[in-house]
A and B are shown apart, each in its own frame.
Chain A
């Protein structure tokens, strides 16, 4: 029961703080849009999958008109409102994939390094350091060069860039967890190295990693959209993706500012919500930072 009480306390602390509650509402709103768009897109007004306007081939962006095109249209004849709504699902899904993928690899490397210690630890951590010493944007460009230019490849490139952070973090946590008496007890009762790592160390490393994921997600959404913006994913003009939308609108930005403003606002609000929620989660889950 103690654990349940702990969760209750965490949730209460999260909701008592106005800013983290606001963050939670924003993030849930985005997740809601993404889920609705995947299940029943008409509910949020998305009528066609590639958001191209039927019988509308004017590539020059048109200003917002209510209620036909509330956000206006953008190059090449796309309703911006539908495109942004559909793009939220794409960006959220890939960003989620990137942090979870990065965290899985990072936890594996970090926990093995911490538990094995000695030479294996040294080698794994030096490799991690080398990956960390390459600034992420040029590095993602180099990885993307090999894998090809597409959204799946971009996610894989960003996982390669992101895992070292989680590896260092997981190792730090695992180092203190493995000194606990219950790990010693498990060892004494004959549990193998793999069993100790998966059953006793990993579950206790997960909570801080989870907080780290929530702190990172806002940044990952931004980075993902930044790379599609500079043309990393040659996905074609009709793929609804926030960075691609901004990039398609870039040539018209001065005469038709709405084409870059709306997709950017969508990224900004999500990043703000995620950062608010991440800060709140960290405060709620980490008793040391409670004030």
Chain B
């Protein structure tokens, strides 16, 4: 079977997963009663009386039908781009609008952390396995063990304390601890209003489009602590798995052969062992993405970053159905599709794997 067939088959398998996922979340958010749902849409200041509005909304959303029938109406609207409405302190309007505003920022945060995790985690794991029982190995193991046990939001708070409290750190205000950018820089800009930048909604990109390198640098500094915190929370398990997998690989017969024929250590490690040792790490990455998405929820709340996680949390706190529904579906989709990418990557790392 070729790669293309495999991708198509996996994409088709994604469909029932997404239907199941949205069905679960839909039922969860709609068994709470219609009143909760109506509250989202009813405008008490409107000249039309509340009871008439209720009637109209009941017709529009088919609230007089069973939940399962409502779900199919919702699904049809969902595929037509109508994802409902959300009302939270940080955003009111269509859910699709909220997602287009908040998702890009979350993607930037998650991507930077994943890249950093790979850059730090894989070499450290390899190094730790090659220099087994050395000082480096012990230090790396302690580091990964602590990282594994450390609550991610608490680490974020410690960093905030360290970089913002005058008593503790001489590095005061080296990295900003809250928000996406220094407001004094963006005052009066036509393309940055109310914490929202245009046209891409990612400040790092928009500032470059408008040639404001000072804002770009400031926004980048604001990303440092969130990215470090998120990276630290997921890099630990990558190091652990990379180390044990590399150790297994280094005990293989073909590695002994490579050493016996006189290859230098660097060639054995870099060309023979590392690529084969990557496969369990790749499996882990699928699970790590779930941890990453969970971490995003906490980290965006702590560092006040306008992202999907922050919005979903706000939706929970203000009892907003549209936000919870939209946020959960987005997180579910991100998880399903990133696992798809991981599965496809297997073939590139290990050409023996045939789909």
**Bound-complex Cα distance A250 to B152 (A):** 14
Q: Which residues of A contact B313 (CB under 8 A)?
A: 141, 230-231
**Bound-complex Cα distance A291 to B116 (A):** 33
Minimal Cβ-Cβ distance residue in A for B36: A145
Whether B319 pairs with A145 at a CB distance below 8 angstroms is yes
**Count of chain A residues with a beta carbon within 8 Å of a chain B beta carbon:** 40
Whether B21 pairs with A130 at a CB distance below 8 angstroms is yes
Whether A145 pairs with B32 at a CB distance below 8 angstroms is yes
**Count of chain B residues with a beta carbon within 8 Å of a chain A beta carbon:** 49
Q: Which residues of B contact A250 (CB under 8 A)?
A: 157
**Bound-complex Cα distance A137 to B32 (A):** 20
**Bound-complex Cα distance A229 to B317 (A):** 12
Which residues from 198 to 232 on chain A have a C-beta closer than 8 Å to any C-beta of chain B?
218, 222, 225-226, 229-232
Minimal Cβ-Cβ distance residue in B for A274: B149
Whether A253 pairs with B161 at a CB distance below 8 angstroms is yes
Among the stretches A54-62, A66-74, A263-271, the one at the interface with B is A263-271
Q: Which residues of B contact A229 (CB under 8 A)?
A: 153, 298
Whether A139 pairs with B328 at a CB distance below 8 angstroms is yes
Interface status of A35 (Cβ within 8 A of chain B) = no
Interface status of B341 (Cβ within 8 A of chain A) = no
**Bound-complex Cα distance A133 to B146 (A):** 27
Using known A-B contacts A130-B17, A142-B29, A250-B157, determine if residue A226 contacts B316 with beta carbons closer than 8 Å: no
Using known A-B contacts A145-B28, A145-B319, A253-B157, determine if residue A226 contacts B21 with beta carbons closer than 8 Å: no
Interface status of B260 (Cβ within 8 A of chain A) = no
Q: Which residues of B contact A138 (CB under 8 A)?
A: 293-294, 297, 312, 327-328, 331-332
Interface 1/0s, chain A 40-70, versus B by CB < 8 A? 0000000000000000000000000000000
User: Distance (Å) between the CB of B336 and the closest chain A CB?
Assistant: 5
Interface status of A131 (Cβ within 8 A of chain B) = yes
**Bound-complex Cα distance A285 to B24 (A):** 37
Which of B32, B154, B158, B160 is most buried by chain A, counting CB atoms within 10 A of its CB?
Answer: B154
**Bound-complex Cα distance A275 to B151 (A):** 13
Interface status of A96 (Cβ within 8 A of chain B) = no
Which residues from 324 to 343 on chain B have a C-beta closer than 8 Å to any C-beta of chain A?
324-325, 327-328, 331-332, 334-336, 339
Whether A272 pairs with B153 at a CB distance below 8 angstroms is no
Interface status of A1 (Cβ within 8 A of chain B) = no
Q: Which residues of A contact B153 (CB under 8 A)?
A: 226, 229-230, 246
Using known A-B contacts A137-B293, A145-B29, A272-B146, determine if residue A230 contacts B151 with beta carbons closer than 8 Å: no
Minimal Cβ-Cβ distance residue in A for B289: A135
Interface 1/0s, chain B 248-279, versus A by CB < 8 A? 00000000000000000000000000000000
Q: Which residues of B contact A275 (CB under 8 A)?
A: 145, 148-149
**Bound-complex Cα distance A146 to B161 (A):** 35
Whether A130 pairs with B20 at a CB distance below 8 angstroms is yes
Among the stretches A102-110, A113-121, A254-262, the one at the interface with B is A254-262
Interface status of A11 (Cβ within 8 A of chain B) = no
Interface status of A129 (Cβ within 8 A of chain B) = yes
**Bound-complex Cα distance A145 to B37 (A):** 12
Q: Of B324, B327, B336, which one neighbours A133 at CB under 8 angstroms?
A: B336
Q: Of B31, B298, B324, which one neighbours A230 at CB under 8 angstroms?
A: B298
Q: Which residues of B contact A271 (CB under 8 A)?
A: 149-151
**Bound-complex Cα distance A250 to B28 (A):** 31
Interface status of B165 (Cβ within 8 A of chain A) = yes
**Bound-complex Cα distance A261 to B160 (A):** 12
**Bound-complex Cα distance A250 to B298 (A):** 13
Interface status of B207 (Cβ within 8 A of chain A) = no
Q: Which residues of A contact B52 (CB under 8 A)?
A: none
Q: Which residues of B contact A141 (CB under 8 A)?
A: 297, 312-313, 315-316, 324, 327-328
Q: Which residues of B contact A268 (CB under 8 A)?
A: 149-151, 154
**Bound-complex Cα distance A163 to B137 (A):** 35
Minimal Cβ-Cβ distance residue in B for A218: B149
User: Distance (Å) between the CB of B281 and the closest chain A CB?
Assistant: 19
Interface status of B353 (Cβ within 8 A of chain A) = no
Interface status of B168 (Cβ within 8 A of chain A) = yes
Interface status of B188 (Cβ within 8 A of chain A) = no
Minimal Cβ-Cβ distance residue in B for A127: B20
Whether A135 pairs with B149 at a CB distance below 8 angstroms is no
Minimal Cβ-Cβ distance residue in A for B146: A272
Whether B298 pairs with A146 at a CB distance below 8 angstroms is no
**Bound-complex Cα distance A143 to B150 (A):** 25
Task: Name A's B-contacting residues (CB within 8 A).
Answer: 126-127, 129-131, 133-139, 141-146, 218, 222, 225-226, 229-232, 246, 250, 253-255, 257, 260-261, 264, 267-268, 271-272, 275
Task: Name B's A-contacting residues (CB within 8 A).
Answer: 16-17, 20-21, 24-25, 28-29, 31-32, 145-146, 148-154, 157-158, 160-161, 164-165, 168, 290, 293-294, 297-298, 301, 312-313, 315-317, 319, 321, 324-325, 327-328, 331-332, 334-336, 339
Known: A130-B21, A134-B332, A141-B316. 7 other contacts (CB 8 A): A133-B336, A137-B293, A146-B28, A226-B298, A254-B165, A255-B165, A268-B151
Closest 7 CB pairs of A and B: A130-B20, A137-B294, A271-B149, A264-B154, A135-B293, A138-B331, A272-B149
12 pairs of residues in contact across A and B, judged by CB atoms under 8 Å = A126-B16, A130-B21, A135-B331, A137-B293, A137-B294, A138-B327, A138-B332, A142-B25, A142-B328, A229-B298, A268-B154, A272-B145
